[in-house]
Amino acid sequence: MNRTRFPLTILLLTGAFFLGNCAIPRANTPSGVGTHAVQTTPTVTPLPPLPTPQLGLAENPLILALPPSANSPEQIAAAKQLASLFTERTGYTVVTIVPDSYAALVDALAQGNAHIVLLDPYAYDLAYQKGLIKASYAVIKDGEGTYGAQFLATRKGGFESFYDSVSDENTADATTALAQFADKKPCWSDETSPSGYVVPLGFLNENLITTKPPAFVEGHPTVVRSLYASGICDFGATYIDARKFPSLEDEFPDLVEQVIVVWQIPAIIPYEVLALSTNMPQNMRDLFTSLVPAIMQTDAGRDAFKVAYDIDELQPVNDGYYEEFRIYVDESGVDLSTLLK
């Protein structure tokens, strides 16, 4: 019996010897740090962004923007009616917004938060330069989609007219007619007027005609009155024909004879522009463009366009229709962003 227990005792002692002399591995810890467990932040892989729903679905609707001046319940209701008419005919969801300003509307186009818009000339030009829109329709007023301007001066100021009122045509080019304004003082209507400042200034700059510092007299009739009174400025510019403003004709019976048209700017200044966002696929833009005349032929659509946008008539156009306007606004050197209301 002793013989059988001895080997087992030897084995136990031998095992204890070897275990006592084996190093037990420990977790590595930084110097000076206790042996408590080190907390680590697990690596989290971010989830990929969810895909944007297709434009025109309820989750990503097309947005019809009213002009910033739209502030009546009737206008807002009319815009919603237009949105419903577009939805009925296309199957796309269309909703409406009222921007705070044309600057805000251009920003909305840039952010993809506006798609069907009516823009004033400057907002159109800025949005076009940014590649945000394509022109679809020109607003027609008095049968025209654009209008002109005129340079005025006085006979007693020694200026020569290069405009024939009988044929309603200029008799010389702009370089010849406008050269007489070099180093003369202009009267401009105001700093945002297309016909009373920006476009005429563009014509002067294109023809390298430098003038004296201008006077901004606030209003086209005031430009005419300032020229007639003399001593304020040498020449000015207005819409055609501001000389025949009713109160002026009553006040100055000989005004048309004394204040002459030196040269007329062709009809290149647009009224409002109905445009579509370049965020819309081409086939979608084509669809909405094609539906506008059909909607305007209905009583509901015609009334909605009139109330929401004050539109009676539209003319199909493309961006080439406004090229000359864009050229002379650019020649003026005026910062477009300062012209937006």
| Residue in the structure block whose two tokens are 């909305």 | 108
Domain count, the chain: 2
Beta strands, E only, the chain: 62-65, 94-97, 116-119, 133-139, 146-154, 163-164, 169-170, 186-188, 215-216, 235-239, 259-270, 273-277, 314-316
Domain assignment of residue 223, yes or no: yes
Mean of pLDDT values over 286-314:
96
CB 267 within 8 A of CB 147: yes
Same domain, 275 and 265: no
Q: Using the predicted structure, report yes or no on whether residue 99 has a pLDDT greater than 90.
A: yes
Do 279 and 179 fall into the same domain? no
Q: Could you give the CA distance from residue 330 to residue 241 in angstroms, rounded to a whole number? A: 25
Asked if residue 280 is part of any domain, the answer here is: yes
**Quick one: pLDDT at residue 249?**
79
Query: Quick one: 181 and 279 in the same domain?
Result: no
Distance CA 21, CA 14 (A): 11
Least confident of 67-71, 104-108, 201-205: 67-71
Judge whether residue 214 has pLDDT over 50. Answer: yes
DSSP-derived secondary structure letter, 194: I
Per the domain annotation, does 183 fall within a domain? yes
Find the domain containing 305 and state its range: 62-143+271-338
Domain membership flag for residue 127: yes
- The whole-chain average pLDDT of the chain stands at 88
pLDDT at residue number 51: 72
Q: Which of residues 237, 252, 269 is at a domain's end?
A: 269
pLDDT (average), residues 16-22: 39
The yes-or-no verdict on residue 20 having pLDDT over 60 is no
Q: Is the pLDDT of residue 25 over 80?
A: no
Same domain (yes/no): 136, 183: no
- The confidence score (pLDDT) of residue 250 equals 82
For the cut 60, the answer to whether the pLDDT of residue 15 exceeds it is no
In this predicted model, what pLDDT tens digit does every residue of 130-142 receive, in sequence order? 999 999 999 999 9
- What residues are paired with 275 via a beta bridge? 117, 135
Q: Are strands 259-270 and 146-154 parallel, antiparallel or unpaired?
A: antiparallel
pLDDT for the residue numbered 116: 98
R_g of the chain, CA atoms, integer Å = 37
Q: Residue 341: its pLDDT value, please?
A: 83
Measured in whole angstroms, the distance separating CA 281 from the mean position of its chain's CA atoms is 19
pLDDT band for 66, please (50, 70, 90 cuts). Answer: very high
Q: Are residues 159 and 113 in the same domain?
A: no
How would you class 48 by CB atoms within 10 Å of its CB: exposed for 0-12, middle for 13-18, buried for 19 or more? Answer: exposed
Q: What is the pLDDT of residue 272?
A: 96
pLDDT value for 41:
56
Is 244 contained in some domain? yes
The pLDDT value given to residue 206 = 97
Does residue 19 form part of some domain? Answer: no
- Tell me: do 137 and 172 sit in the same domain: no
Q: In terms of Cα–Cα distance, which of 200, 271, 272, 187 is closest to 228?
A: 187
- Read off the pLDDT of residues 227-285 as tens digits, 9 standing for 90 and up: 999 889 999 999 999 999 988 978 888 999 999 999 999 999 999 999 999 999 999 99
CA atoms within 13 A on the CB side of 3: 0
40 — pLDDT class (breaks 50, 70, 90): low
259 touches 243 (CB < 8 A): yes
CATH of the domain at 125: 3.40.190.10
- Are 292 and 136 in contact by the 8 Å Cβ rule? The answer is yes
